[in-house]
Amino acid sequence: MASNRQIAEDVLAAIGGKDNVTQITHCMTRLRVNLKDLSLTDEEKIKSVKGVLGVAKAGGQFQIVIGNHVDMVYKEVCEIGGFAAESAINENLDGPKEKFTMKRLGGQLLDFLAGSISPIIPALMVAVIFKMVVSVGGDMFGWIPVESDLYTLFTFVGDAPFYFIPVLLGYTSAKKLGSNPMVGAVLGAILIHPTLIGLAAEGAPFKVFGINASIQTYSSTILPILLSTFAMSYVEKFFKKILPQTLKIVFVPGLTILIMLPIALIILGPAGAILGNFLCTGLYSLGSLGGIAQILMIVIVAALWEFFVITGMHMVFITFLISGFAATGSEALITPAAVSASIAVAGMCLGSALRIQDKEERSLAYSYFIASLIGGITEPGLYGLGIKYKRPFIGMMIGGAAGGLYAALTHVTAYAIVPVASFLCLTSYFGGSTANIVNGMISAVIAFGVATITTYFWGFKADNTVVTVK
């Protein structure tokens, strides 16, 4: 087998040399390369490199499949090319510029999301393992007593990666943008500082440099930190440009955070919350009208639920859900939609696993399927398949909408709050009539089946997503 050094040299030569690279990062198995001029690349030559398993193109980016040792090849590429290992950005950006189009903008946004989120999947998989043990060994079979210290330990280990997602994404998104990743992590840490969370919980007034700030709880959210690091990248570049070289290492990080405090805490952070409240409240009001409006609301929420989960907007719906249970002891709007959407994630993962040809990616897809259906952890599948490949996300939305439509038409009602996204969420339908339980199960089967079939037949394009192993 070729050495990591040799693979790196051959890959650089096949993509037009180091001067053709504008950015290079890596995920769990792939080098992800952005280039100045795609015409300088030789795709067949890349595929012929010993140690390269395959090539995919997506969003104007070359994705070169290496395998589990991709991080070692990445380090060699950075060393040979003279790229900064942390940012892997080529400072020599002179060259032909691509024409702006909405399609290109959309591709860049998706590339930013994938490049920011993909690196945190190993952390999410840690959560998957421990949450699965708690779900199966504790809640399902009682092997681990709920009152035991072991149950508590595994619970907070499973929760930690999700709680600290702003810190993780602060690092990875800043790195993706070519900014200092540690400064990005600090910005994420600021958003979930205990004092800030305490102020949000109390509704206490707070001012940033004399300006009133609408303090929110940002733990387990991704949109505020992604917006903030995007803005931070421009602030950091500004200070790097105007400060002398001798002062940059000392003052750029501090000045960047200083400027970002009001931007993140007054503007970008609350903006996501305001958008979420407006959207969620409007949809819930639509559902309260009954009839066609209620059916439409459930279908829309079922289709968009995982998007709400990704952005943290789902917490607004959960507030309505709890209020509904507190008032009537049952709930027939949010729960059927959320259950259908959660089961559809597992269908998307299975459909992807059955279709993907690359062994590494297929193995990951199966692990995401198990994690979703049994462990109730949907994020690895959402980020590792839905956002990465794009079309599976739509297949999942169609499956969720189909399941939600059946649940709405048959008036499926939940009689318990089951705070998991695994198959155990179906137990929320217990407590009513037998017909309610049966229809709830049927809605889940529809969501799972439609998501699996739609993803399998429509979720991939061979020219840029399905990688054939040599």
The predicted-structure confidence for 323-357, as pLDDT tens digits, reads as follows 566 556 678 888 899 999 999 999 999 999 999 88
Q: Decide if pLDDT at 364 tops 50.
A: yes
The answer to the question of residue 210 being in a domain is: yes
Domain count, the chain: 3
Provide the pLDDT for residue 102. Answer: 58
Q: Decide if pLDDT at 1 tops 60.
A: no
Q: Structural domain of residue 25, as residue ranges?
A: 4-98
What are the tokens at 337? 């939609």
Statement to judge: residues 438 and 406 lie in one domain: yes
The answer to the question of residue 465 being in a domain is: no
Task: Give the model confidence (pLDDT) of 117-143 as tens digits.
Answer: 767 777 766 776 787 677 667 766 778
Cα Rg of the chain, angstroms: 23
Residue 276: pLDDT band with limits 50, 70, 90: low
Task: Give the model confidence (pLDDT) of 218-263 as tens digits.
Answer: 887 777 888 899 999 999 999 999 998 888 888 999 999 999 999 9
Q: What is the mean pLDDT of residues 448-455?
A: 95
Mean pLDDT of the chain: 80
Task: Give the model confidence (pLDDT) of 179-211 as tens digits.
Answer: 899 999 999 999 999 998 888 888 888 899 988
Q: Mean pLDDT check: name the lowest of 3-12, 182-191, 265-274, 332-341.
A: 265-274
Provide the pLDDT for residue 86. Answer: 46
Statement to judge: residues 439 and 315 lie in one domain: yes
Q: Which of 48, 76, 65, 169 is nearest to 115 (CA)?
A: 169
Statement to judge: residues 450 and 347 lie in one domain: yes
Kindly give the interhelix angle for 334-355 and 291-311, rounded to the nearest 10 degrees: 60
Residue 94: pLDDT band with limits 50, 70, 90: very low
Could you identify the residue written with the tokens 């769990």?
A: 28
Statement to judge: residues 130 and 269 lie in one domain: yes
Residue 280 designated active-site: no
What are the tokens at 84? 């900064």
Statement to judge: residues 209 and 312 lie in one domain: no
Statement to judge: residues 124 and 233 lie in one domain: yes
Contact 20, 12 (CB under 8 A): no
Provide the pLDDT for residue 18. Answer: 82
Domain end, chosen from 37, 65, 98, is at 98
Statement to judge: residues 85 and 28 lie in one domain: yes
Statement to judge: residues 129 and 80 lie in one domain: no
* 88 against 170, higher pLDDT: 170
Statement to judge: residues 174 and 247 lie in one domain: yes
Contact 164, 242 (CB under 8 A): no
Q: Give 259's Cβ-side CA count (13 Å radius).
A: 16
Give the Cα separation of 427 and 251 in Å (integer): 55
Q: Where are the extended beta strands (E) located within 114-271?
A: 207-208, 211-212
Give the Cα separation of 463 and 470 in Å (integer): 16
Domain end, chosen from 31, 63, 98, is at 98
Q: Give 40's DSSP letter.
A: G
Give the Cα separation of 371 and 381 in Å (integer): 8
Chain-centre distance for alpha carbon 308 = 11
The answer to the question of residue 464 being in a domain is: no
Residue 467: pLDDT band with limits 50, 70, 90: very low
Q: What is the mean pLDDT of residues 152-158?
A: 88
The answer to the question of residue 281 being in a domain is: no
Statement to judge: residues 268 and 137 lie in one domain: yes
CB atoms within 10 A of CB 280: 22
- DSSP string over 234-282: HHHHHHHHHS-HHHHHHHHHHHHHHHHHHIIIIIIHHHHHHHHHHHHHH
Contact 128, 380 (CB under 8 A): yes
Contact 204, 296 (CB under 8 A): no
The answer to the question of residue 466 being in a domain is: no
Give the Cα separation of 282 and 95 in Å (integer): 47
Which range, 13-17, 389-393, 425-429, 444-448, has the best average confidence (pLDDT)? 444-448
Give the Cα separation of 455 and 399 in Å (integer): 9
Q: Which of 55, 7, 6 is nearest to 35 (CA)?
A: 55
Domain end, chosen from 246, 275, 304, is at 275
The answer to the question of residue 338 being in a domain is: yes
Q: Which of 63, 111, 13 is nearest to 463 (CA)?
A: 63
What are the tokens at 146? 């709920």
Q: What is the mean pLDDT of residues 307-315?
A: 68
Q: Which of 26, 121, 160 is nearest to 371 (CA)?
A: 121
CATH number of the CATH domain containing 23: 3.30.1360.60
Provide the pLDDT for residue 465. Answer: 44
Contacts of 418 (CB under 8 A, 6+ apart): 424, 425, 427, 428
Statement to judge: residues 123 and 238 lie in one domain: yes
Q: 154 to each of 34, 139, 286, 365, 418, how far by Cα in Å?
A: 40, 12, 40, 24, 19
Provide the pLDDT for residue 143. Answer: 84
Statement to judge: residues 319 and 447 lie in one domain: yes
The answer to the question of residue 301 being in a domain is: yes
Q: Which of 27, 78, 349, 425 is catalytic?
A: 27
User: What pTM did the predictor assign?
Assistant: 0.57
Give the Cα separation of 151 and 159 in Å (integer): 12
The answer to the question of residue 104 being in a domain is: no
